[in-house]
Structure 1
Amino acid sequence: MKWLCTVGVAVSLALQPALADELFGNHPLTPQARDAFVTDLLKKMTVDEKIGQLRLISVGPDNPKEAIREMIKNGQVGAIFNTVTRPDIRAMQDQVMQLSRLKIPLFFAYDVLHGQRTVFPISLGLASSFNLDAVKTVGRVSAYEAADDGLNMTWAPMVDVSRDPRWGRASEGFGEDTYLTTMMGQAMVESMQGKSPADRYSVMTSVKHFAAYGAVEGGKEYNTVDMSPQRLFNDYMPPYKAGLDAGSGAVMVALNSLNGTPATSDSWLLKDVLRDQWGFKGITVSDHGAIKELIKHGVASDPEDAVRVALKSGINMSMSDEYYSKYLPGLVKSGKVTMAELDDATRHVLNVKYDMGLFNDPYSHLGPKDSDPQDTNAESRLHRKEAREVARESLVLLKNRLDTLPLKKIRHYRGGGRAGGQQARHDGQLVRGRGGRPVGDRPDRHQKKRWAITAK
Structure 2
Amino acid sequence: MKRIISVVFLAVICANPMFAQQKRTTTPAQQKMDNFINTLMSKMTVDEKIGQLNLPSSGDITTGQANSSNISKNIKAGQVGGLFNIKGVDKIKAVQQIAVENSRLKIPLLFGMDVIHGYHTVFPIPLGISATWDMDAIKKSARIGAIEASASGINWTFSPMVDISRDPRWGRISEGSGEDPYLGSQIAKAMVTGYQGKLQANNEILACVKHYALYGAGEAGRDYNTVDMSRVRMYNEYLPPYKAAIDAGSASIMASFNEVEGIPATASKWLMTDVLRKEWGFKGFVVTDYTGIPEMIEHGMGDLQTVSALALNAGIDMDMVGDGFLNTLKKSLAEKKVTIEQINRACRLILEAKYKLGLFDDPYKFCDPTRAAKEVFTPEHRQVAREIAAESFVLLKNNNNTLPLKKSGTIGLIGPLADNTANMYGTWSVAALLDQSVTVLQGLKNALGNNAKILTARGSNFLADSVMEHRYVNVHNPTYKRDSRTEAELIKEALEVAKKSDVVVAVMGEGSEFSGESSSVTNIEIHRTHYSEGHQTTKIYEDGDQDPSGRSAQARQYHNPDIGTRPN
TM-score (norm 2): 0.69
User: In the alignment, which residue of structure 2 is the partner of 1:324?
Assistant: 325
Contact 1:284 1:315 in 2 (8 A): yes
Structure 1 Cα separation of the partners of residues 230 and 385 of structure 2: 40
User: In the alignment, which residue of structure 1 is the partner of 2:341?
Assistant: 340
Residue 335 of structure 1, CA deviation: 2.7
Equivalent positions of 1:96-245 (< 5 A) are 96-194=99-197, 196-245=198-247
User: In the alignment, which residue of structure 2 is the partner of 1:36?
Assistant: 35
Of the three residues 395, 414, 421, the one matched with 1:397 is 395
The amino acid across from 1:405 in the alignment is L
User: In the alignment, which residue of structure 2 is the partner of 1:46?
Assistant: 45
Q: Secondary structure at the match of 1:328?
A: helix
Equivalent positions of 1:427-446 (< 5 A) are 430=427, 434-435=430-431, 438=434, 440-441=436-437
The amino acid across from 2:86 in the alignment is T
Structure 1 Cα separation of the partners of residues 39 and 147 of structure 2: 33
Residue 39 of structure 1, CA deviation: 1.5
Aligned length: 419
Structure 2 gap ranges (5+): 1-26, 449-542, 546-568
Residue 208 of structure 1, CA deviation: 0.6
Residue 417 of structure 1, CA deviation: 4.5
Q: Answer yes or no: is 1:294 the counterpart of 2:296.
A: yes
User: In the alignment, which residue of structure 2 is the partner of 1:452?
Assistant: 446
- CA 1:324–1:67 in structure 2 vs 1: closer, same or farther (change >3 Å)? same
- CA 1:430–1:439 in structure 2 vs 1: closer, same or farther (change >3 Å)? farther
Contact 2:116 2:428 in 1 (8 A): no
More helix by share: 1
The percent identity for this pair of structures is 43
- CA 1:226–1:364 in structure 2 vs 1: closer, same or farther (change >3 Å)? same
Deviates more, 1:39-48 or 1:244-253: 39-48
Structure 2 Cα separation of the partners of residues 379 and 113 of structure 1: 16
Contact 2:212 2:254 in 1 (8 A): yes
User: In the alignment, which residue of structure 1 is the partner of 2:366?
Assistant: 365
Give CA deviations for 1:317-376 in whole Å, capped at 9, x if unaligned.
0001222111112222333222111111101111111111111111111113xx6837x9
Q: Secondary structure at the match of 2:354?
A: helix
Structure 1 Cα separation of the partners of residues 92 and 142 of structure 2: 22
Structure 1 Cα separation of the partners of residues 397 and 225 of structure 2: 36
Contact 1:283 1:348 in 2 (8 A): yes
User: In the alignment, which residue of structure 1 is the partner of 2:381?
Assistant: 383
The amino acid across from 2:446 in the alignment is A
User: In the alignment, which residue of structure 2 is the partner of 1:355?
Assistant: 356
Residue 205 of structure 1, CA deviation: 0.5
Residue 427 of structure 1, CA deviation: 9.2
Residue 187 of structure 1, CA deviation: 0.9
Give CA deviations for 1:76-132 in whole Å, capped at 9, x if unaligned.
110011111111111100111221011100011111110011110011111111111
Q: Secondary structure at the match of 2:95?
A: helix
Structure 2 Cα separation of the partners of residues 377 and 190 of structure 1: 19
Structure 2 Cα separation of the partners of residues 451 and 33 of structure 1: 60
Structure 1 Cα separation of the partners of residues 241 and 86 of structure 2: 29
Q: Secondary structure at the match of 1:203?
A: coil
Structure 1 gap ranges (5+): 1-27
Contact 1:428 1:437 in 2 (8 A): no
Structure 1 Cα separation of the partners of residues 219 and 265 of structure 2: 15
Which of structures 1 and 2 has the bigger CA Rg? 2
CA RMSD of aligned residues (A): 2.7
Give CA deviations for 1:134-164 in whole Å, capped at 9, x if unaligned.
1112111111111111111111101111001
- CA 1:416–1:387 in structure 2 vs 1: closer, same or farther (change >3 Å)? farther
Structure 2 Cα separation of the partners of residues 243 and 449 of structure 1: 36
User: In the alignment, which residue of structure 2 is the partner of 1:68?
Assistant: 71
The amino acid across from 1:53 in the alignment is Q
Contact 1:117 1:439 in 2 (8 A): no
- CA 1:267–1:431 in structure 2 vs 1: closer, same or farther (change >3 Å)? closer
- CA 1:179–1:42 in structure 2 vs 1: closer, same or farther (change >3 Å)? same
Residue 380 of structure 1, CA deviation: 4.0
Q: Secondary structure at the match of 2:287?
A: strand
Structure 2 Cα separation of the partners of residues 39 and 411 of structure 1: 73
The amino acid across from 2:33 in the alignment is R
The amino acid across from 2:58 in the alignment is V
- CA 1:216–1:37 in structure 2 vs 1: closer, same or farther (change >3 Å)? same
Of the three residues 68, 88, 110, the one matched with 1:85 is 88
Contact 2:93 2:367 in 1 (8 A): yes
Contact 1:153 1:206 in 2 (8 A): yes
- CA 1:61–1:38 in structure 2 vs 1: closer, same or farther (change >3 Å)? closer
Structure 2 Cα separation of the partners of residues 225 and 420 of structure 1: 38
Structure 1 Cα separation of the partners of residues 228 and 61 of structure 2: 35
Contact 1:29 1:355 in 2 (8 A): no
Give CA deviations for 1:165-197 in whole Å, capped at 9, x if unaligned.
111100010101110001111111111111x22
User: In the alignment, which residue of structure 2 is the partner of 1:284?
Assistant: 286
TM-score (norm 1): 0.85
The amino acid across from 1:246 in the alignment is A
Structure 1 Cα separation of the partners of residues 166 and 349 of structure 2: 33
The amino acid across from 1:172 in the alignment is E
Residue 406 of structure 1, CA deviation: 2.3
Give CA deviations for 1:40-67 in whole Å, capped at 9, x if unaligned.
2111101111111001111129997411
Structure 1 Cα separation of the partners of residues 311 and 360 of structure 2: 28
Structure 2 Cα separation of the partners of residues 145 and 54 of structure 1: 27
- CA 1:390–1:100 in structure 2 vs 1: closer, same or farther (change >3 Å)? same
Structure 1 Cα separation of the partners of residues 153 and 217 of structure 2: 34
User: In the alignment, which residue of structure 1 is the partner of 2:526?
Assistant: none
Residue 298 of structure 1, CA deviation: 2.3
User: In the alignment, which residue of structure 1 is the partner of 2:273?
Assistant: 271
- CA 1:44–1:128 in structure 2 vs 1: closer, same or farther (change >3 Å)? same
Give CA deviations for 1:25-48 in whole Å, capped at 9, x if unaligned.
xxx993222222111211110111
